[in-house]
Each structure stands twice: as structure tokens, then as C-alpha cells.
């Protein structure tokens, strides 16, 4: 492998990796406020992209994407209000099973709304063939869009959680729900908000990646597995570590494809998942006390 090739693989790895990171952050947001892994997280990306693709036929692309993100955000909120809130006293096992059921129903609904066709949004700037040359590697400008949007999402979320009242209230809920409630925080709305937020960033990520990877109704589940792998790798609830872990998994996959058959690309993430679950379920960067999560 020569130098430009390495750059090429690295950039494509970082691109998918950043999408995995966003998915993982979506998992983390919901996990922090509810203690539940939302298996339907991957579906949010596909719903967002599919909605934007349909809307882009009637309205300009930026408007279509904005509307799609809003609609998916609303869907996330709706799911929490209708299903999760009703089962708030349920055991973790029950909640997991509910979100698995939701992911299947959403996926099947998408199959009936948008059929099996592989679709994609148009490139945000330029066309399929336009390239930019970086260090001898030729890349699509869309990759810069993906990286840029991911960076904006991560920065915005960090600022949101650190400096706004609502963001701080959400963090308080994830820290100690009872204490937060005693401080006058409406913890139920924080849970709803966390679902909306994770759905919204998922939809945005789904839109920016759509021109590169294409979108099909059943793409949610593999994305969810990888997002979960990344979330675990970084340690559940740790969003900054999720970014690092996401880029790591993306790079690992990219270089696997360069060496082995593409069919085994999926297996890489799962093997990483099984290894991390077996040897370090609290994540690579975890503090000691977080390992208590293993029995959560």
C-alpha cells in the first residue's frame, strides 16, 4: 500500500467512523437518562435520510433536510411518549424487548412506505464524480461535509450539555434522577427530550452520509450494532470517548476491507463487540467505578 492509498482508506474510515460515533452518542444520550439502550437508534438515521430524499423532490435540499430532522425528532418524542413512558417501571429486559420491537415495526413501516429500492440524497456540493485531492488521495467533497457536520454535532452537543440550563438539567437526571427531581427538574420531560435529541442527530447523520453510502430501509440494524459497539468501546455514557472509539472502528473496518473480502467487514465490528464485552465491558477508557454497570 502506498501513501495516497493509506490516506484514502484512512479518510473513508474516518467518514464512516464519524457516523458510528454520532450513532453511539445517540445511544449514550438515551442511556444516560433512562438506563436503556434504544435498539431503534439505527432506524432514526434511515428514517431521517428517507424522509429527506422524499422531501427533496418538492423543496430545496437544505429545507428538505431541516424538515426531515424535525420530523424524525418528533418521531423520537412520540415513541417516548407512547411507548417508553408507559413502561417506565418495567425491568430493563422488558424495555430492551420493547425497543427491539419498535425497531422492527419502524423498519417494516419503511419497507411499506419506501419499498426496497436503494436511494440516496444528491451530493451537497458538486456531483458523484467531483473530487478534491488531499495528500495525493482523491476524495469526494461529501466526505468533508460528513466530517464537518459530525464535528458541528459533537461541538454543539458538548456546549449544550455544559452551558444551557436544559442541558445541565439532563445531565443532572443522568447523574441522579431522584436528586434532579428534588431540585425541581421535570425528569420525565428530560427523558422525552433525550429521545428527541438522539432521533434528531441521528436523522442529520443519516442525511449527510446518504450520498456516500446510499440508503435502504434495512440499514438501521447494522448501524445500530456498530453504534452500540462504539458506545461500549468508549464506555456507555461517555460521548467524547465514543468519538475516538467511532473513528477507531471506522479505520479498522476500512483497512479490513483493504485486506480481506468486503463480506467480512460486518464481522469486524461484531468481533470487536464480543471481545470488548468479554474482556472490558466498561469500555476502553472507563474509570474503575463504571464497571459496576456490568451488573446494571
Partner 1 sequence: MMRLRMYYPVLVSALLIVALHLVLAAAHATYYMTQVTMSAYYALVVIGLCLLMGYAGQASLGHAGFFAIGGYTSAVLTTCNLSAFRDAPAIAALRSIGLVVQWQDLYGKEVLSFSPWLAFGAALLLAGLIALVIGLPVIRLKGHYLAMATLGFGLIVYRIVLGAQLFGRADGVSNVPAFRLVDGLQVNGRALFRVQNYYIAWVVVLAAMVLAINLVHSRVGRALRSIHQSEEAAHSLGVDTYRYKLATFVLSALFAAVGGVLLTHYNGSIGPSEATVMKSVRYVAIVAVGGMANLWGALVMGVLLNFLSLRGVFGTYDDAVFGAILILIMLFAPNGLLRVPNLRAVSSVGRASALAFQRVVRGRTTSTRRSHG
Residue ranges in contact with partner 1 by CB under 8 A: 36-37, 83, 86-87, 90, 92-98, 100-105, 107-109, 111-112, 221, 225, 228, 232, 261, 263-264, 266-267, 270-271, 273-274, 277-278, 281, 294-296
Choice between 100 and 139, CB closer to partner 1: 100
Choice between 96 and 139, CB closer to partner 1: 96
What is the nearest approach in angstroms of partner 1 to the Cβ of residue 4?
30
What is the nearest approach in angstroms of partner 1 to the Cβ of residue 245?
15
Choice between 176 and 266, CB closer to partner 1: 266
What is the nearest approach in angstroms of partner 1 to the Cβ of residue 96?
5
Strand-pair partners of 132: 139
Choice between 75 and 149, CB closer to partner 1: 75
C-alpha cell at 154: 459533537
What is the nearest approach in angstroms of partner 1 to the Cβ of residue 98?
5
Choice between 60 and 101, CB closer to partner 1: 101
Give the whole-angstrom CA distance, residue 241 versus residue 249. 12
What is the nearest approach in angstroms of partner 1 to the Cβ of residue 221?
7
Amino acid at each position: 500500500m502506498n501513501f495516497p492509498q493509506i490516506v484514502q482508506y484512512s479518510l473513508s474510515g474516518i467518514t464512516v467512523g464519524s457516523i458510528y460515533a454520532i450513532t453511539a452518542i445517540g445511544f449514550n444520550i438515551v442511556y444516560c437518562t433512562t438506563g436503556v439502550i434504544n435498539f431503534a437508534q439505527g432506524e432514526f438515521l434511515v428514517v431521517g435520510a428517507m424522509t429527506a430524499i422524499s422531501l427533496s423532490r418538492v423543496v430545496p435540499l437544505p429545507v428538505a433536510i431541516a424538515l426531515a430532522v424535525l420530523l424524525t425528532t418528533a418521531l423520537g418524542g412520540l415513541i417516548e411518549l407512547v411507548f417508553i413512558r408507559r413502561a417506565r417501571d418495567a425491568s430493563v429486559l422488558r424495555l430492551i424487548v420493547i425497543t427491539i420491537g419498535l425497531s422492527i415495526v419502524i423498519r417494516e413501516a419503511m419497507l411499506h412506505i419506501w419499498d426496497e429500492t436503494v436511494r440516496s440524497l444528491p451530493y451537497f456540493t458538486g456531483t458523484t464524480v467531483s473530487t478534491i485531492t488531499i495528500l495525493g488521495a482523491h476524495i469526494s467533497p461529501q466526505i468533508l461535509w460528513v466530517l464537518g457536520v459530525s464535528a458541528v454535532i459533537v461541538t454543539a452537543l458538548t456546549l449544550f450539555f455544559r452551558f444551557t440550563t436544559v442541558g445541565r438539567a439532563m445531565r443532572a437526571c443522568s447523574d441522579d434522577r431522584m436528586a434532579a427531581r428534588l431540585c425541581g427538574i421535570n425528569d420525565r420531560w428530560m427523558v422525552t427530550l433525550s429521545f428527541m435529541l438522539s432521533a434528531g442527530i441521528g436523522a442529520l447523520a443519516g442525511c449527510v452520509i446518504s450520498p456516500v453510502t446510499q440508503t435502504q430501509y434495512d440499514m438501521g440494524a447494522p448501524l445500530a450494532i456498530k453504534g452500540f459497539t462504539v458506545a461500549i468501546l468508549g464506555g456507555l455514557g461517555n460521548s467524547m470517548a465514543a468519538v475516538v472509539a467511532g473513528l477507531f472502528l471506522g479505520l479498522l473496518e476500512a483497512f479490513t476491507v483493504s485486506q480481506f473480502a468486503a463480506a467480512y467487514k460486518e464481522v469486524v465490528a461484531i468481533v470487536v463487540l464480543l471481545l470488548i464485552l468479554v474482556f472490558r465491558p466498561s469500555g476502553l477508557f472507563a474509570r474503575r467505578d463504571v464497571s459496576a454497570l456490568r451488573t446494571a
